[in-house]
Amino acid sequence: MTDKYSLDLAFSSTTLQGFDADPSILAVGYGWTKSVSGGDWKEDGQKTQAVQPGAIFYFTLYDCQPAAYSDGPPSVTSFEINFKTGSGNLPTPFVDQMGNPIIENPIRVTGAFPFNTEFQGSTGCNVKGFPCLVPPLPPTSNDFYTVNPNIEDPIEYECQVKFTVQLTDGTSKTFKVDPRMIVGGPG
């Protein structure tokens, strides 16, 4: 069975205001999870994540304190993965459905992302929230990315993941995290 990895990103689209702060305090956290050979998902912290070539890879967003859902959920309007390091001919660790390296960097996915309306747990961030899987671009029938199976020597990828949330009051908030992964590394 194929190994699976997820970068779980937990954020709060609305939080209480700080004692003397305006606007609201907004933050994002992340954590890695993995399922080896079809086993249960297990958290793997925030360390540099070793990812095996050919693995399935998810980006999962968890809104853990959404705006009043009577007005509808906030929507993610953009999601961007910017790889700062990597190999010159492999600027990203992913391949498309045809097995060709995805060379667009940054990878930008835009549009309204559907959040599941049922609270679910994030193993990577140790929270419960409304989850959303970020689909690959170009659009495919999959909700996951495939890690390049042809990477033989370990390549470290430092990246910045940035996403923007359109709140129900019409304002937008942008969140960023800077995870690292090594494709083909020990792990």
Q: What is the pLDDT along the chain (187 residues), one digit of tens a residue?
A: 689 999 999 887 765 455 555 455 567 889 999 998 888 989 998 999 999 999 999 998 888 876 555 555 567 888 899 998 776 678 899 998 888 888 888 888 776 677 777 788 888 888 888 888 887 765 556 778 899 999 888 999 999 999 888 776 777 888 899 999 999 866 5
Alpha-carbon dihedral angle through residues 16, 19, 25, 27, given to the nearest 10 degrees: -100
Domain ranges of the chain: 4-183
Q: What is the pLDDT of residue 7?
A: 93
pTM: 0.83
Are 52 and 184 spatial neighbours (Cβ–Cβ below 8 Å)?
yes
- Alpha-carbon distance of 154 to 131, in angstroms, equals 31
Give the HSE-up count for residue 123: Cα atoms under 13 Å, Cβ half-sphere: 12
Q: What is the pLDDT of residue 147?
A: 93
Residue of 19, 14, 54 whose CA lies nearest to 37: 54
Q: What is the pLDDT of residue 104?
A: 84
Q: What is the pLDDT of residue 13?
A: 72
Phi, psi of 70 (to 5 degrees): -65, -25
Q: What is the pLDDT of residue 23?
A: 52
Report CA-CA distances (Å) from 5 to 84, 118, 153.
20, 22, 19
